[in-house]
Structures are given as structure tokens and as C-alpha cells.
Structure 1
């Protein structure tokens, strides 16, 4: 991301975090997700390092690394929404919509796959797992909403949980994929999505039977995922 002409003084801290995130990811390839990467990104972008530190104070669960990774994921979420709004996806089948959105995310980080590898390692640390799960859920929710999903019942939660799992598994393949154009990763994604389509059919048959699921549904209904 070329942020050299950006006026950071006019940004909120939330906007600044997202604006710096791609440059931080580029620096994290070499330096890891740490203050060195933050300061290198600030220099690259022409941002005052003190302002950059203010945007990423390193407080809370996961500290500085998770703050920067969350900002990067947010930047990918926003780029995906801008490139693939719901009206553009409407002409595609549901399966194609989800594949298209996940593929966009993979392409968006294809040049910084080492940063992805390092980010996955950070998110896998026990103290970061709850926050990482929330981020995965949030991205899955955005994808389903762009794909036109309006379910508010049990399906709302299962769809997002399954997609978050597929995306996480696909990233694990992605960071080790040395095939041309990450062809193996995209093939893996296609197989997983196909598996979900079969699962949805089986689930519909299962839920069509006289099964008792009200207590779980009430519990899920009380959950609140992070605001976008």
C-alpha cells in the first residue's frame, strides 16, 4: 500500500491503524510482528513514529503483535468489501461467492506469505487464541453477509463457524504452498467448499427430523460477535 501522500494527522487512530497495516505486514516478513516492523512501516509511509506508537500502544491480550495483526486483517476485510460488494457477487451462485471472497483474501496477501506464516504463529499462542477466534469469526461473518446470507437462526452460527475453520485451514496450506500461483491452495479451498455443500445437504436432512436443539439455539442467540 502506498501511503506516502497520506495525511495521517486527519485520521482517527482506527483509520491510522488500518492505513499502516499493509506496510507493517511487509516489514513483518523480515522483522516479525514487533515494534521494529511498526517503526519501519511508519518510516516507509512517512508517518511520525510517535503517532504510529500511539496507534499501536500494545495494550490488552496479545499486546502489540495482535494489535498489528488485527489491523492487517481489518485492512483485508475492507479491501474485500470494496472489491466485492454484495451487488457484484449477486450474479454468482452461493458456492462461487464464498470461493471468490476467500480467493480474494489469499491473493491480497500472496506477496507477503511469510508475514502470514508469522501471524499464524502469533495467533496460535494460547494467550492469543480467544482474540484470534473472534477475528476469524468476524471475517467469516463479513464474507457471509457479502454473499447474501440473512439467516438469523442456528444456521447463522454454523455457517460462520464452518467458514472460519475452512479459511484457517486454507491459510495453513497457503503458507507452505510452493506450487505455481498457489494452485494447490486453491484446489484445497475448492475441495473444502465442496465438502461444505455436501454437509449443508446432510444438515438439512438431519434438522428435518425430530431433533431437540432448543437449548443450544437459545445459547447461541445470546452470543455477540464484535461490531464491524
Structure 2
């Protein structure tokens, strides 16, 4: 465990050293080499921690933002908030804790065809991090639908936020509220449809198939995870 902690500390050190460089040189090999020089860590260790260079730095920055958001949510009293407002707060915390220029650089990188799958995976992981932080306990198809819907809302909000020049990003938060409002309207329509006798009969067969879908089992045998 001490070795794992020391590796995490080294990775964090390099990432923090990379941030001022990434704003100018993007998430690139140039940024990684500059961060290695500034951190004073051995080149071999830097390459072992970030074998793919700049894209691994971008991934690490994104994951750092997810962890910071989860920690901020855990320290916030959410009892007085409606569930939609909790989701909105989580997205706001995630974005306000990020640097726009660094996110813009990452968005450019992950828009490239060969990096697009990784970018999509990171957006999904952010949606999963938000639902997990909010205590989501769904184990059926709702596990997937919640994350897919939030991933779409989050990615659209990020793109709006990157171009937002309003005070305190007020236009972005209004955009986010509208998107979440659209989701709630869809959920209400879906609930009404589920209670309609004709719709029940029509979708009885597909419903049985969908009911067999379950959330993925937790993998506790992966590196860095503790077996229960």
C-alpha cells in the first residue's frame, strides 16, 4: 500500500507540474517533458506513470476533477435539495472546480477520432461518479439509463460552458437547468406511459427482456482495489 501511495503521489506531482504548461502546449508530449523536468522525478518513472504521454495527463486531470467533485458533494448537506437540484449542484461543482482552458485543451484532444472512445468513456465515468456520489442504488436498466442521460446533459453543458462569458457562468447554469427540466418532462411522460393499460400490454414482451438487464458487478480484484 505504501508503494501504491508513493506512486499516486508521484503521479499527482507530475500532473500539478503539467497544468501551467498544458494551458499553452495542450495535453502533449511537450507538456509531459516539461512537467517531468519541473517535478524533478526520473524520466523513467514519469514514462511509467504516463506511458501514452499527453493523453494520460489529460485522463488524469479529468479523473482528478471527478474525485474533487465527489469530495465536495460528500462535504455538502443535500437534505434540503430536490433530487434534480442535487444533480445540478454536482455538475456545477464539477465544472467550477475545473479550469476552462485545460478543459478546452482536453476537449480538442478527445475530439480526435482515435481518442474519441476514451473521451466518451471519461464522460460516462463522470456521470457514474455523480450518481454514485448521490447514493444511486439502482441495479437494473435504470443504472444505465441514468448515466446515459446524465452523460448527454453533462457533455452538452460542458460545451456551452466553454463558450460562456456571462458573469459567474450564469448562462451555463440556466442552460443546465433547462436540460434537466427536459429530462424530468421525459421521465414524467415515461411514468405516465408505464401506467397506461394499453402501453403495458404493448410493451409487456420487451419489458420482460429489459428486466433481465442488471448493473455491472463491482470488480474488486483490479489493481488499486481492496477485496471485500
How many Å apart are 1:155 and its aligned residue?
A: 1.5
Structure 2: gaps (5+ residues):
none
Residue correspondence of structure 1 range 1-228 to structure 2 within 5 A: 11-45=5-39, 47-58=41-52, 64-85=53-74, 88-109=77-98, 112-208=99-195, 209-210=199-200, 211=203, 212-216=206-210, 218=212, 220-221=213-214
How many Å apart are 1:169 and its aligned residue?
A: 0.6
Q: Distance in 1 between matches of 2:127 and 2:77?
A: 18
Q: Distance in 1 between matches of 2:73 and 2:39?
A: 26
How many Å apart are 1:171 and its aligned residue?
A: 0.7
CA 1:131–1:25 in 2, change beyond 3 Å: closer, same or farther? same
Q: Is the 8 A contact 2:128 2:147 kept in 1?
A: yes
How many Å apart are 1:87 and its aligned residue?
A: 7.2
Q: Is the 8 A contact 2:144 2:215 kept in 1?
A: no
Q: Distance in 2 between matches of 1:185 and 1:95?
A: 16
Please report the TM-score for the alignment, with normalisation by the length of structure 1: 0.80
SS in 2 for 1:221: coil
Report the more deviating stretch, 163-172 or 129-138.
Answer: 129-138
Q: Distance in 2 between matches of 1:25 and 1:102?
A: 22
Deviation digits for residues 93-145 of structure 1 (CA, Å, limit 9, x no counterpart): 11111111100111111xx3122112112112222222222211111111112
Structure 1: gaps (5+ residues):
1-8, 59-63
Q: Aligned-residue CA RMSD in angstroms? A: 2.8
CA 1:97–1:44 in 2, change beyond 3 Å: closer, same or farther? farther
Q: Distance in 2 between matches of 1:123 and 1:199?
A: 30
- When the two structures are aligned, how many residues end up with a matched partner? 213
